[in-house]
Structures are given as structure tokens and as C-alpha cells.
Amino acid sequence: MMAQTANIGPLDLTPTGHEAYIVSEANSDVTNALAKLGEFRKDSTGPGAEILDIVAAEIRRTGDPTAVTDQVLTLMGNAARTECETHTWCTGTGEHDAHMGATIDIPAPDPQEKPYLGAYLIDLGGGAVAGLDAGTWQDLDSAGLRAEAAKIRAHCDRLDALADQLAAIEASK
């Protein structure tokens, strides 16, 4: 068997068949970035090493280590914001104990003011309930929420009746 004359310099870190990092670029930022990656690469195996190879290749391709680093950090940040594993309706991400769904509400007539009649699903550990902004926030079960919805629906009829009354007054001016 012929002796292999492996040409493994300090930055030729891919003896298993990957393309070796090439650090001959004139751009010293690129050279430094690849050297740093090479240090990490030495201690990495498996997917971690593969990722470093891809990052190194991208830095070589673009010649812009800062842009590549920013892109990688953004992707890693996105990956950290994982979806809630407890409730499909929860909008929480990452580690959290207070599960909360999206809020539904009615925009105020004056857009500068807060919306009203807000409601959302929430689970603080004792099971899901609906929070309803009924002057003060109330925790309701599904039957309680339906009862409030019925009252609000009836109230809409009364609002319409009130509007009819006002329209008659306006017309008589």
C-alpha cells in the first residue's frame, strides 16, 4: 500500500474528503474569519463540522465574512424561537410557562384609544380558560364565554335600536 502524502496544513482541516479551507485570499478579513472557523472545526464533528464547512465555503464565495456571520446568527436566532410544544393555539415561543393565544378585540372608534372587549385563551398551568375584558379581566370557561357572547349579541340589537332612535332625532332637525 502506498504511503499517502497527506498535505494537511494548519488550516487544511478536511482530510475526510471535504474541500480544504483555502486561505489564500488577499482579503485579510476573509483569512481571519476562515482561521477562526478552522479553530472551531478542529473540535467539531458531525453536523457541527458540516455547518462550519458550509459557512467557510460561503465566506469564500462571498468574500464578506460579516454578511455571512450576520445571516448565520439571524438563522440561529430564528431556530431558537421554536413554537410552543404544549398548545397549538399558543403564540409563545421558546421556553415559557404562561401559554397565551392571540387576542381578539374591537378597535376603538378613536384609533388612538385602546381596543375593547378583548379576549384570548390562556393557560397558566391550571388548564385553558378564556380571558375576557369585561370592564375587568374575567377568566371564563367555554359556557361562560358563550353566555357573555349572547349578552354582547343582545346588546348589539340594543345599540342598533339606539342608533335608529338617534337617526330619527337627527332627521327631525
- Alpha helices in the chain, H assignment, sequence order: 28-42, 46-62, 65-80, 142-171
Give the residue with the Cβ less far from Zn ion, 55 or 121.
Answer: 121
Out of 49, 90, 129, 130, point to the residue binding Zn ion (CB under 5 A): 90
Q: How far is the CB of 96 from Zn ion (least distance, A)?
A: 6
- DSSP strand pairing (116-123 vs 129-134): antiparallel
Give the residue with the Cβ less far from Zn ion, 65 or 101.
Answer: 101
Q: Does 84 bind Zn ion (CB under 5 A)?
A: yes
For residue 120, the surrounding DSSP H or E stretch is strand 116-123
Give the residue with the Cβ less far from Zn ion, 43 or 95.
Answer: 95
Q: Does 128 bind Zn ion (CB under 5 A)?
A: no
The three cell numbers of residue 81 are 424561537
Q: How far is the CB of 92 from Zn ion (least distance, A)?
A: 4
**Cα separations (Å) of 140 from 78, 101, 116, 132, 151?**
34, 14, 17, 7, 14
DSSP summary character for residue 166: H
Q: Does 99 bind Zn ion (CB under 5 A)?
A: yes
Q: How far is the CB of 4 from Zn ion (least distance, A)?
A: 54
Out of 31, 69, 89, 92, point to the residue binding Zn ion (CB under 5 A): 92
